[in-house]
Chains A and B, each alone.
Chain A
Amino acid sequence: LTPITRLFALSLVALTLMSCRGQTSEKPPVHPNLNMDFQDRFNAQEENSFFADGRAMRTPVEGTVARGNLRQESEIFEGLDENGEFVDYIPVDVTRDFLERGRNSYEIYCTVCHGGTGDGRGIVMTGNYGYVPAPTFHSERLRGLPDGEIYSAIANGVRNMPSYASQIKVEDRWAIVTYVRALQRSQYVPEEQMQQFDVDLAELRSEFTEEQ
């Protein structure tokens, strides 16, 4: 080997090694000092081989109540009044912020199926994935639903819709109910009311037909 080829080969090896940086690999990272990386305690969602199911997080015993988590008010936590009927009002203060919070949560958890306007045409429904179609919120029946029943749908699920109790907190569930109500209102404004706000209905209609 001439010195030139040797130099060339060396730089080629160096270049090849350097190009490995940032490449994906299934091998775990090399940490030379692992003294305290994995300590003898369990973090959330870690593995604990002591238990049969291998989970470090244990399920609380059924019927136990954590301090500050009594959940006695059935109208807030279940949407039911004292007779066991669905309440027809939102049992929390409805503010602009609360509505915004509802929009935010709705767009995270509900849009996928129910669609941004609540017409039941979310991507899971329009994409032909074989999910049972979600009903539109803009039908006579759903406009007449008591607020508590919408809450219960989120908390307990209905027919093919699973319960979202583990994903959406109680307050956010009511925020979503508020936002669904706002959505229903937005799609169902009587003509006189629209005129009150100086909306040119003829122009809107022509725009709509053009879009179709």
Chain B
Amino acid sequence: MAQIFPKWANGAPKRILIGAIVFLNAAVFGVWYFFSPEFTDVGYAPEQPVPFSHKVHVGQLGMDCQYCHTQVAESKHANIPATQTCMNCHSQIRTDAETLEPVRQSWETGEPIEWVRVHMLPDYAYFNHAAHVNVGVGCESCHGRIDRMEVVYQAEPLSMGWCLDCHREPEKHVRPVSEVTTMGYVADNQLELGLELVAKHNINAPTYCQGCHY
């Protein structure tokens, strides 16, 4: 009587077992690593209609963040400046620059400049800028070193886990309110200072659903 299984089938169970282990590990690692917002979201740097350089305006000219993003300490929404803000200076500075053509066009016609938004939170997550800025969460903590960015890219994942890391331990990140717009701020005794500030501003960062999701 002929054999049902050929001889090589003797080694098959071992191979299947090892293959399954390798495959599962690769799958788990792959999803954990490549499907996380740190991979899918961080580094998004779309091309903008005007090649606006934060590096020049903040890093070189030393402008304060709030010169343009005026509402950040009062509103939930940190505004993109209107064309008028650009024209404060560019009505006289570099008036013939080709890259600024869309700005002048917008000023003449009243049509807005179509900036591309980089930091996109889903609409079901409520985020309030003022609530963070007024208790001493620095711009840098969430947006990275904007003063060194020629083109703005997303520096942090903005995922829920990342939000909660800070909401659970705000003392690791808060700074004095006067230093919120300072780029490259480092405290020598962050934990000590952080705990002090958390107590001072009565920081009670929500970790419950209604805090952000209503």
Contacts and interface: CB of A to CB of B under 8 A. Distances in A.
Q: Do A and B come from one complex?
A: yes
Contacts of B63: 112
Contacts of B123: 36-39, 41, 43
Q: How large is the interface on B (under 10, 10 to 19, 20 to 34, 35 or more residues)?
A: 35 or more
Contact of A108 (B44, B67, B75, B77): B67
Interface in B50-93: 61-64, 66-67, 70, 75, 77, 79-80, 82, 84-85, 87-89, 91-93
Given A27-B44, A31-B40, A129-B94, 17 more contacts: A18-B33, A24-B151, A24-B153, A29-B37, A29-B44, A53-B110, A54-B111, A107-B64, A112-B61, A112-B62, A129-B89, A130-B93, A131-B89, A131-B92, A160-B92, A162-B88, A164-B88
A168 B64 CA distance: 14
Contacts of A37: 120, 122-124
Nearest to A30: B40
B47 interface: yes
Interface residues of A, number: 43
Interface string B127-148: 0000000000000000000000
B114 A54 contact: yes
Contacts of A22: 38-39, 42-43
A174 to B, nearest CB: 17
9 contacts: A24-B45, A26-B45, A28-B44, A29-B40, A54-B111, A124-B61, A129-B93, A130-B92, A162-B91
B46 interface: yes
B67 A112 contact: yes
Contacts of A127: 61
B89 A47 contact: no
A26 B47 contact: yes
B80 to A, nearest CB: 6
Interface string A1-45: 000000000000000011011111111111100001111010111
Interface of B: 33-34, 37-47, 61-64, 66-67, 70, 75, 77, 79-80, 82, 84-85, 87-89, 91-94, 110-112, 114, 120, 122-124, 151, 153-154
Contacts of A162: 84, 87-88, 91
A162 B87 CA distance: 9
Nearest to B181: A108
Given A24-B45, A26-B45, A36 B122 contact: yes
